[in-house]
Amino acid sequence: MTSHSLRDLLADHPFLEGFPPNYLDQLAEICFEKRFHEDEIIFREADPSGFFYLIISGTVALEITAPGRVLRIQTIGADEELGWSSMMDNGRKQFQARALDPVKALAFDGARLRSLCEANCGFGYLVLKRLLGVVSERLQNTRMQLLDVVSSK
């Protein structure tokens, strides 16, 4: 895939909506397209946090494994983000991620993305602000699931 079409995919992804063109150019230089087949484990819980992904198509399950069973916490799909823990130094993956169907994503090496953020505070602030939105939404959704509101009606 050419960096031009990668750049287009980046510009179309909601996570990067409104990013200045020069920021998108920088991101295009460090990202690559990655595909996962159905049932492929993208990463396992407690793996060193390597990559951050912007999902283009397909569905990913976030799971916690326990002896004899797998608990699915959430599913995420096109236009969403995967692997935010890669933005933390020495981070470890919080969940196991598994492709539920063929997945196409844009992958960013966490270390390189962090370096870009540190080199340009404006860029870094924008990225972290968007990531905070992702983490906040996931936290809120998890709280709602814990409340078990649907069964209480």
Partner 1 sequence: MTTDVMTPAAAELRSVSKENHDTFSLVLDAPEGMEPFKPGQFSMLYVFGAGELPISISGDPQHPDRLTYTVRSVGPVTYQLVTREPGEFIGVRGPFGTCWPLDRARGKSVLIVAGGIGLAPLRPAVYSILRRRGDYDRLVVLYGARSPRDMLYKKELSAWGMLPDNQVLTTVDYGGVSWRGPVGVVTTLFKSVRLNPAETIAMLCGPEIMMRYAIRDLLARGFPPENISLSMERNMKCAAGFCGHCQLGPHFVCKDGPVFDYPALREYLDVYEL
Catalog residues that contact partner 1 under the rule CB under 8 A: 59, 61, 69-75, 77-80, 100-101, 140-141, 144-145, 147-153
- Alpha-carbon gap, residue 135 to 140, rounded angstroms: 9
User: Which residue, 19 or 95, is less far from partner 1 as judged by CB?
Assistant: 95
In whole angstroms, the minimum distance from the beta carbon of 78 to partner 1 comes to 8
Helical axes 110-119 vs 121-147, angle rounded to 10°: 130
In whole angstroms, the minimum distance from the beta carbon of 115 to partner 1 comes to 30
Query: Please, are residues 34 and 105 in contact by the beta-carbon 8 Å criterion?
Result: yes
What does each C-alpha distance from 127 to 23, 54, 87, 102, 105 come to in angstroms?
A: 10, 13, 10, 27, 18
In whole angstroms, the minimum distance from the beta carbon of 31 to partner 1 comes to 21
Phi, psi of 76 (to 5 degrees): -130, 155
User: Which residue, 26 or 74, is less far from partner 1 as judged by CB?
Assistant: 74
User: Which residue, 89 or 148, is less far from partner 1 as judged by CB?
Assistant: 148
In whole angstroms, the minimum distance from the beta carbon of 105 to partner 1 comes to 16
CB count, 10 Å around CB of 57? 13
User: Which residue, 114 or 138, is less far from partner 1 as judged by CB?
Assistant: 138
